[in-house]
Copies of this chain bind each other. A is one copy, B any other.
Amino acid sequence: MREFLRTKGFKMTPQRELIFKSFFAMGKHVSVDELYDKVRQQDSSIGYSTVWRNLKLICKVGLAEEVNLGDGVTRYDRATETPHGHFYCIDCRKLTEFGMDNIVGQLAIISRENDFVPSGFKIEIQGRCRACRDKRAGEKTTAESAEAQRA
């Protein structure tokens, strides 16, 4: 890692090392805050901006990319060998992944047909995960059928 960064003109520091390690140790779709908290457990002197900057760096060198779901927080997703799409539960906001190898071909075709040179594909499927559907079903029978405020 140190070497990898050096070739790109970046230096290694204790903070950076801890941040990188922690990021890759955590699950996918990590927010700055989440990583900040995590890192703080090891070294409470690390600043927020350092975490943020290194997350940006991780993206810049191609090891991750930002995921934006319109809910106000940017999440960082480790780069994967094969592209994947996201299921975004509109209730619990959990992200789940799925492969999209079969679809990528079609997206490439569509791009070509539209004289567009693609560099990346994003597929997001919104809906409800099993857990939230079950929870809803339970609540609906129990509670009144009045207006359920739009989640």
- Structural contact, A130 and B107, CB atoms closer than 8 A: no
- Structural contact, B124 and A121, CB atoms closer than 8 A: yes
Minimal beta-carbon separation of A151 from chain B (angstroms): 11
- Structural contact, B127 and A107, CB atoms closer than 8 A: no
Copies of this subunit: 2
- Note all chain B residues with C-beta closer than 8 A to A119: 90, 126-128
Contact among B60, B70, B114, B150 for A60, CB-based, below 8 A: B150
Question: Contacts A98-B114, A102-B106, A114-B87 known; A126 to B122 CB distance under 8 Å?
Answer: yes
Closest residue of chain B to A123 (Cβ to Cβ) is B123
- Note all chain B residues with C-beta closer than 8 A to A125: 107, 110-111, 116, 118, 120-122
